[in-house]
Structure 1
Amino acid sequence: MQNAPEIALVILAAGASKRMGNPKQLLPWGDSTLIEHSIKTALKVNGSPVFVVLGANFEILSEQIESYPIEVIYNCDWKQGLGTSISKAVKHITDSNLKFDGILFLLADQPFITTDYLKQMIAHFKPNKAQIIATSYNEGEKGVPVLFDAIYFKELEALNKDIGAKQVLSTHESKVEILFSGTKNIDLDTQTEYKAAYKAQFLK
């Protein structure tokens, strides 16, 4: 029987939440916060270490999550955009002594992504096949969560702008496989969007 792939889970949570007006990572979600919900979701993916990339509001956020068995990565260049968080995470992981077959990126403000879906992504992954497994949504978009084979680590480490990994997906489009999450791609960027999502989940 083939061993399960070694996958690092990276939660990207370095943004300043300017449109929200306050750190959206700390907004209530159920009995915790958005960032804690994403951490709990990731930690239930058995055997996969969890890394969290922080930038803006580093001190308050790191204090909020210090009790979880995760590794925090500080992105001092967070103002330059999402690409820098991906780059910092990949560099941190490749500089460590840990060896991974791939990295699965997810966002702290995607509370409808489930542990089962993350497990499904990993189950579809075959190491050393140059796979990219991206998430498809109802609107036909594809994006995060996204799982990259280790062959793309150098390319991901070179990212430095606010376009995230979209350019890597575009460059290697023939290697991209799509999974459907069963949810809408809801961006929680404003209070209105957050309140609507919270109401849909908890105030039915």
Structure 2
Amino acid sequence: MSTDRRTLLADAAIAVLAESGIRGLTHRAVDRAANLPPGTTSAYYRTRQALLTALVRRLVALDQTELQEIGEQTPMPQHAEELVAGIAGFVERRLTGDGRRRSLARYACALESVRHPELREILVARENAGRQVVRDFLAAQGLPDPEDRTVTLLTCVDGLVFDRLVSGGGKVSEQEIRGLVMTALR
């Protein structure tokens, strides 16, 4: 039960952070979001830093699970257009619904990690099946440095997501993603 409560609190903290920003992330706000009695969050996470660390760990676990599932369910793209379509679907998930909330929380945590290196260690990019699909596709094209190209491509995709969240610009077009993929293929 303790683990379930901790997960519930971390999920509520992600929602609070996405809705209210870093200043709105308080123990009381998480209690309210989780529909739990006042003081529950502080009983599990005594300090704000402990709460933030739990939030970041949960966020990374959710992201890794999603990326692993994408990679396992996505066959190796045979053509650039298939990679474009796959990345477009991923970006759409990051800009809507629960994916949007997690994206907002992730970027807030990334900024907070500048002052708290222990968070940066948790947030560091990890290997996953989704990343592997992109790397394998680029390698199959006979390109030099598929690892570096994968990192560059995915960093640019992340930048598009960030831009749309910050600017309120809505969707990322397939044309924009196609441009990134084609640049990676040069």
Query: Normalization by structure 1: what TM-score?
Result: 0.26
* Structure (1/2) with the larger strand percentage: 1
Structure with bigger helix share is 2
